[in-house]
Structure 1
Amino acid sequence: MSKALGYAALSSTSPLAPLAFERRALRADDVAIDILYCGVCHSDLHQARNEWGIAVYPLMPGHEIVGRVTAVGPAVTRYQVGDQVGVGCMVDSCRHCDACHADLEQYCLQGPTMTYATPDRVDGSNTMGGYSDKIVVAEHFVVRIPEALALASAAPILCAGITTYSPLKHYGVKAGHKVGILGMGGLGHMGIKFAKAMGAEVTVFTRSQSKVPEAHKQGADHVIVSTDAAQMAAAAEHFDYLLDTIPVQHDLNPYLQTLKFDGVHILVGLIEPIEPAVHAGHLVIKRRVLAGSLIGGIAETQEVLDFCAEHRITCDIEMLDIQQINEAFERMHAGDVKYRFVIDMATLKG
Structure 2
Amino acid sequence: MSTPHTFYGWLGHDASSATGNLKWEPYTPIPPTPHTVDIKISHCGICGSDIHTLRSGWGATHYPICVGHEIIGHITALGSSVTRFKIGERVGVGAQSGSCLSPDCEECASGLENHCPKIVGTYNGKLEDGSVTMGGYADYIRVPAHFAVKIPEALPSADAAPMLCGGITVYAPLVHNGAGPGTRVGIVGLGGLGHLGVLFAKALGCSSITAISRSGSKRKDAFAMGADIYIATAEEDGWAKAHSRTLDLIVSTVSGPDMPLEEYLRLLRTGGQFIQVGVPEDKLPGFNAFGLIQKGCKIGGSQIGSPKEIEEMLVVAAKKKVVPWIQKRPMREANQAVVDMEAGRARYRYVLVNDDHSRL
The TM-score bracket by the shorter chain reads over 0.9
Instruction: Please tell me whether the aligned partners of residues 321 and 347 of structure 1 are also in contact (alpha carbons under 8 angstroms).
Output: no
**2-structure distance, mates of 1:74, 1:203:** 49
Q: Is there any run of 5+ residues in structure 2 with no aligned partner, and where?
A: none
Q: What is the CA-CA distance between 1:273 and the residue it aligns to?
A: 5.0
Q: 2:50 aligns with which of 40, 44, 49?
A: 44
Q: 1:340 aligns with which of 321, 337, 349?
A: 349
Is residue 283 of structure 1 aligned with residue 287 of structure 2?
no
**1-structure distance, mates of 2:92, 2:356:** 19
Q: Is there any run of 5+ residues in structure 1 with no aligned partner, and where?
A: none
Q: 1:245 aligns with which of 245, 249, 253?
A: 253
Q: 2:301 aligns with which of 279, 292, 296?
A: 292
Is residue 179 of structure 1 aligned with residue 188 of structure 2?
no
Q: 1:74 to 1:129 in 2, by over 3 A?
A: same
Q: 1:69 aligns with which of 72, 75, 83?
A: 75
Q: 1:214 aligns with which of 201, 204, 221?
A: 221
AA matched with 1:74: S
Q: 1:106 aligns with which of 96, 100, 114?
A: 114
**2-structure distance, mates of 1:308, 1:275:** 31
CA RMSD of aligned residues (A): 1.6
Trace 1:248-287 onto structure 2 (pairs within 5 A). Answer: 248-249=256-257, 250-287=259-296
Q: What is the CA-CA distance between 1:271 and the residue it aligns to?
A: 4.1
Q: What is the CA-CA distance between 1:25 and the residue it aligns to?
A: 4.9
Counterpart residue number, 1:13: 16
Q: What is the CA-CA distance between 1:233 and the residue it aligns to?
A: 1.5
Q: In structure 2, the residue corresponding to 1:27 is in which secondary structure?
A: coil
Q: What is the CA-CA distance between 1:23 and the residue it aligns to?
A: 2.5
Aligned residues: 347
Instruction: Please tell me whether the aligned partners of residues 137 and 334 of structure 2 are also in contact (alpha carbons under 8 angstroms).
Output: no
Instruction: Please tell me whether the aligned partners of residues 251 and 275 of structure 1 are also in contact (alpha carbons under 8 angstroms).
Output: no
Q: 1:325 to 1:11 in 2, by over 3 A?
A: same
Instruction: Please tell me whether the aligned partners of residues 224 and 232 of structure 1 are also in contact (alpha carbons under 8 angstroms).
Output: no
What is the CA deviation profile of residues 277-316 of structure 1, one whole-angstrom value per residue up to 9, with x for unaligned ones? Answer: 1111101111111111111111111111111111111221
Q: In structure 2, the residue corresponding to 1:23 is in which secondary structure?
A: coil
AA matched with 1:246: V
Q: In structure 2, the residue corresponding to 1:35 is in which secondary structure?
A: strand
Q: In structure 1, the residue corresponding to 2:77 is in which secondary structure?
A: strand
After TM superposition, the structure 1 stretch with the greater mean CA deviation from structure 2, 289-298 or 231-240, is 231-240
AA matched with 1:175: P
**2-structure distance, mates of 1:95, 1:337:** 36
Q: What is the CA-CA distance between 1:59 and the residue it aligns to?
A: 0.9
Q: In structure 2, the residue corresponding to 1:188 is in which secondary structure?
A: helix
**2-structure distance, mates of 1:210, 1:273:** 26
AA matched with 1:129: G
Q: 1:84 aligns with which of 90, 98, 113?
A: 90
What is the CA deviation profile of residues 155-207 of structure 1, one whole-angstrom value per residue up to 9, with x for unaligned ones? Answer: 01000000000001111211011001111001111101111111111011122
Q: In structure 2, the residue corresponding to 1:140 is in which secondary structure?
A: helix
Instruction: Please tell me whether the aligned partners of residues 30 and 132 of structure 2 are also in contact (alpha carbons under 8 angstroms).
Output: no
Q: 1:13 to 1:348 in 2, by over 3 A?
A: farther
Q: What is the CA-CA distance between 1:153 and the residue it aligns to?
A: 1.5
Q: 1:102 to 1:282 in 2, by over 3 A?
A: same
**1-structure distance, mates of 2:330, 2:112:** 34
Q: What is the CA-CA distance between 1:29 and the residue it aligns to?
A: 1.5
